[in-house]
Amino acid sequence: MHRVKYILLLFTSMSFSQLDDIADIAQDLVFLADQYVSPAADASVYQFSGGWYTSANKKDLWDLEFSLQGNLLFIPNRDKNFLINEADLINIGIKGDATSGNTPSALGGTNTIELEGSLNDETFEFDSPQGVDETYIKHAQIQATLGLWYGTSFIARYSPKIQINKTYYQILGFGLQHNISQWFSEEPKLNIASLITYSFYTIGDNFTPVSLPLGQLDSVIVDGRSLTLGIIASKQFDRLIVSSAIGLSSSNFDYEVGGEGALVINTLNQALSTLNESSTNFKVDLGLDYRLGDFSINSMLTFGNYANLLFGLNYNL
């Protein structure tokens, strides 16, 4: 809380009682913002860590595979809401007699609850923010894989800023895949490969404005960075390739809120920058790739704490 007070002193001149109230409100809002956005940050790891390959097969030098991919991230009911408990808060509470209640996370619906706080002995009220109110989240990206030396392939994927309903996504990622089976057999019946990827991505969620005494909040942004290590196995049956993989992702997240009112926005974002959110996630991939001449159609299910289904159309040069 002392850090929040220091930030406030940089932006305004207020009485110490007002500073105490605003610092307490800011600390509560940072806590609630973390609870609100954390499920979306964790889910994004599964959305952006799948679909990096169509098989573990070795590519010839300068072979190029170009892919257009679409994702469906399924939202489990368990992460659509989180519990607000007044015992965890300093200034803000639930309006009425209730001391706890469920409210939507960024992945949740529209059943918000009324909250209230106190600033300079005056009560203010606001509704908790709504979620995306979807069963699944859609996203698309392009990807290219280039065969290099010694059975290694370089992978790059990109998605411009695409907004679907109230949510937008943007991603830039790179990876290296190396065929291990080539070192044991020239024509392996089962191909094994290693995979390392690194992704930068941004997720933005616009919600119904939350009015506060010194401004309003209407969006939250998550900037993520994920490093994923994996082992792939694939086997070819004529035109059909069946693949599976296991992977471990290490991710770091930065949160930022948007809205109106320089004091409240700057104060919250300065406080949010100290959270240093990170996660480690285990995932499994199950994939199919069907070859049609130079083209192929693939699908991949990536699952762990969340499940993401990917569909791809690929062209091999």
Q: Which fold has domain 2-316?
A: Lipocalin (2.40.128)
pLDDT at 301: 97
- In Å, what is the CA distance from 87 to each residue of 84, 101, 129, 196, 311? 9, 12, 20, 43, 45
pLDDT, one tens digit for every residue, the chain (317 residues): 445 444 444 444 444 456 677 778 888 888 998 899 899 889 989 988 999 999 999 999 999 999 999 999 999 999 999 999 999 999 999 999 999 999 999 899 989 999 998 887 788 888 998 888 889 888 899 999 999 999 999 999 999 887 766 778 899 999 999 999 999 998 899 999 999 999 999 988 888 787 877 788 888 888 999 999 999 999 999 999 999 999 999 999 998 888 888 877 888 888 888 776 889 999 999 999 999 999 999 999 999 999 999 999 999 98
Ramachandran angles phi, psi of 155, nearest 5°:
-120, 135
pLDDT at 207: 80
Q: Where are the domains of the chain?
A: 2-316
> Which residues have CB under 8 Å from 3's CB, separation 6+?
270, 271, 274
pLDDT at 13: 44
Query: Per DSSP, what are the bridge partners of residue 299?
Result: 288, 311
Cβ atoms within 10 Å, residue 255: 22
Calpha distance 317→311 (Å, rounded): 20
Question: How does strand 64-74 pair with strand 136-147?
Answer: antiparallel
Residues 248 and 288: beta-carbon distance below 8 Å: no
In this prediction the pTM is 0.88
Calpha distance 155→177 (Å, rounded): 8
